[in-house]
Amino acid sequence: MDVSLFYYSQGSACVYLLVYVDDILMMGSDQDLVTQLVSKLSTAFKIRNLGEFGFFLGIETVKCNDGILLSQQRSMNDILKHAGMAECKELSTPISTSKTVVIDTTLYDDPTQYRSLAGALQYLTITRPDLSFAVNQLCQHMHAPTVSH
């Protein structure tokens, strides 16, 4: 099992530690406890504090009155530009719920681009679980995507 999210509590205070390769994100309800844990970690590891984070693994944080909002708006816009769809109109659902897709057996001319976009879309499901079904449908065809996919 590959654990990347850790939780530490002391009384009513809690701290979350997210580890991704060589990046660590730490936040908590008690700044003194966070500082204390960073100090302990720095005795064993070389740590560089980059201050408050604004963008981490494609997720942007926006401060609100009652906490933080996690947003992937910037990543979504980048994906749309990469796909040449930045000017497309929005839909209320990412996949048709009433029409069946006509299967075209003509292979997509750039399967590498298809795989890249499908992979990028997987990251959006972190903050947009409503996209999971549609992204799963795309990922099932990464080995041989067709024009209809």
58 within a domain of the structure (yes/no) = no
Element (H, E) at 135: helix 132-139
The tokens 């494609």 sit on which residue? 58
Q: Would you call 37 helix, strand, or coil by DSSP?
A: helix
As a residue count, the chain comes to: 149
Q: How many CB atoms lie within 10 A of CB 25?
A: 16
148 within a domain of the structure (yes/no) = no
Number of domains observed in the structure of the chain: 1
Higher per-residue pLDDT: 99 or 81: 81
- For 111-142, what is each residue's pLDDT tens digit? 999 999 999 999 888 888 888 888 998 899 99
Instruction: Determine the pLDDT at residue 49.
Output: 79
Which band of pLDDT confidence, cut at 50, 70 and 90, is reported for residue 2? low
To the question of pTM greater than 0.75 for the whole model, the response is no
Are 40 and 50 a contacting pair, CB within 8 Å? no
7 within a domain of the structure (yes/no) = yes
Instruction: Determine the pLDDT at residue 69.
Output: 84
Q: What residues make up the domain containing 39?
A: 1-50
Amino acid (one-letter) located at 45: F
**What's the Rg (C-alpha) of the chain?**
20
Instruction: Determine the pLDDT at residue 56.
Output: 78
Residue 49, Cβ density class (10 Å: 0-12 exposed, 13-18 middle, ≥19 buried): exposed
Which band of pLDDT confidence, cut at 50, 70 and 90, is reported for residue 5? confident
103 within a domain of the structure (yes/no) = no
115 within a domain of the structure (yes/no) = no
Q: 60, 49, 59: which is closest to 24 by C-alpha?
A: 49
* CA–CA distances in Å: residue 82 to residues 63, 86, 116, 141: 28, 8, 10, 19
Region 64-82: mean pLDDT is: 88
